[in-house]
Amino acid sequence: MSDFSATIQNADWKTEKHAPVIDAPDSVKADEFFSITAGLGKAIAHPNTVQHYIAWISLYFLPKDAKLPIQLAHAEFKAHGDSVTDQPGPALTNPSMTANVKLAKSGTLQAVAYCNIHGVWQSFKAIQVEA
């Protein structure tokens, strides 16, 4: 049996609709709040249907020289056009989330997203924290 990490997929979000996009500054001031957005569909739209959708996105921070990441935020997306008829339902969620955080040291932001058909995808973004 393969371990879970072997099933996580990577790709450039500019060419792969399943790879999450992390929008955050390249550098921030220490201990000041700023916004991070993680989502899909910035360059290539991901379907959002009953049959094919992004169920959740989690955002993590791995401090420089740390072994384990810190979970910053998690969002679940529940409305995928579900309907009791053959027509699309009245509500859709866009797989995007924003978290306001402050960091004390530099490190790497990590986003992980789950597609119900194509599995788990991840992406990374380095972030510099200045005193």
pLDDT value of position 81: 75
Structural domain for 51, as ranges: 4-130
Say if residue 1's pLDDT is above 60.
no
The string of DSSP codes covering the chain is ---GGGG-EE--TTT-TTS-EEE--SEEETT--EEEEEES-SSSPPP-SSSS-EEEEEEEEEETT-SS-EEEEEEE---BS--SSSS--S-B--SEEEEEE--SS-EEEEEEEEETTTEEEEEEEEEEEE-
The residue annotated as part of the active site, out of 16, 32, 67, 76, is 16
Q: What percent of the chain has a predicted confidence (pLDDT) above 90?
A: 60
The residue annotated as part of the active site, out of 14, 29, 32, 52, is 52
CATH number for the domain that contains residue 12 = 2.60.40.730
Query: Structurally, how many domains does the chain consist of?
Result: 1
pLDDT value of position 12: 66
Catalytic site residue 105? Answer: no
